[in-house]
Amino acid sequence: MKALMYTGQRQLEVQEVPAPEGAFLVRVAGCAICGTDLKTYLHGHPYFKPPTILGHEFYGTVEAAPAQTGYQKGDPVVVAPYGDCGACDLCARGAGELCSHKRYVSSGAFCELVSVPLDFVADGVIRLDRPDEAFALVEPLACVLCGLDKVRLEHVRRCLIVGGGPMGALFALTLMDRGLPVDVVEPNERRRACLNGWGIPAFDSGAADYGAYDLIVVAVNKPELIAPAVAGVADNGTVHMFAGMPSGSSVTLDARAIHYRAVTLTGSSGFALAHFHRAYEIIRNNPDHYRRLITHRFPFAQGREAFAALERADAFKVLLRP
């Protein structure tokens, strides 16, 4: 099969590789580029050593399936790249995203075929009413839902998203859909124009008054943004660290803000399968609302151009296709 191989920093090439083994195979229709994919491409990653196949935000059609699964060739599906076990202590405590017994698909999805373990099909594969590239956003939206589960939203009156990239936009859309006023801080003019065009208020960083917000979501991986958010958020407010920070980074916080002003600092990473299924239902009910975030589409053969568009912030969300 063809795969877009990550062969080193800033190096991608389409290669012929062996098709994955397994009884349940999914033919990839499209896979969106995640922020982690971009960081890996630009700087490397301790967990994704080249040569390897990146990509995990994908949808497609069933290529092969045993009869007992209830699927047949051609069924449109969206697949969770991993899933919690549902039985360990962390899963029982409602933190399935931290499960240490996760089940995974065979590889990244910048390729033609992905194998899904049979014991994961029932939990990790969702049959679609119809194929739609909007379902490539189920996984990132699941991460957003996981993050918001860490926040006491019943106490929130006004929200600020720091970082107006794809994840920041998903946070904004989700909070706005829940009836909460949201502003987004984004220094890139092109992205601000996209956000404002979608009805998401966005402005440059100089206009932000942190004290006007009781929820601040930091959706960009800059540790230096955490301390001002904690110091500035409204009394009894929450700062949520969503973006993955560089390895070894540290932050000095205003302890008095946390103690005397009852500021809460939370964080999240990834999702549990419950979030993935909730995200699917949200997108299924309003695919147009989310599909607009995908502004560029490239074939695997133009993988470098796709990553370059994201690096320049010319694109918002980019979809790669075989």
Mean pLDDT by groups of 10 residues along the chain of 322 residues = 97 97 97 96 92 98 97 98 96 96 95 97 97 98 98 94 97 97 95 95 87 96 94 96 87 92 96 98 97 97 97 94 97
23 lies in the same domain as 134: yes
245 lies in the same domain as 187: yes
Instruction: Report pLDDT for 247.
Output: 80
Total of domains in the chain: 2
In which domain, by residue range, is 199 found?
150-267
127 lies in the same domain as 6: yes
Instruction: Report pLDDT for 164.
Output: 95
d(CA 29, CA 321) in angstroms, rounded, equals 6
Instruction: Report pLDDT for 118.
Output: 96
Q: Which residues in the chain belong to E strands, given as ranges?
A: 2-8, 11-16, 25-32, 52-53, 57-64, 76-79, 82-83, 103-104, 113-115, 125-127, 159-162, 182-185, 202-203, 215-218, 238-241, 264-267, 294-299, 317-321
d(CA 45, CA 203) in angstroms, rounded, equals 32
174 lies in the same domain as 257: yes
Q: What is the CATH number of the domain that holds 37?
A: 3.90.180.10
49 lies in the same domain as 72: yes
Can you give the pTM of this predicted structure?
Answer: 0.97
Position 299: which residue type?
P
289 lies in the same domain as 253: no
- In 3D space, the residue among 84, 85, 29 whose CA is nearest the CA of residue 57 turns out to be 29
Instruction: Report pLDDT for 208.
Output: 81
Q: What is the CATH number of the domain that holds 248?
A: 3.40.50.720
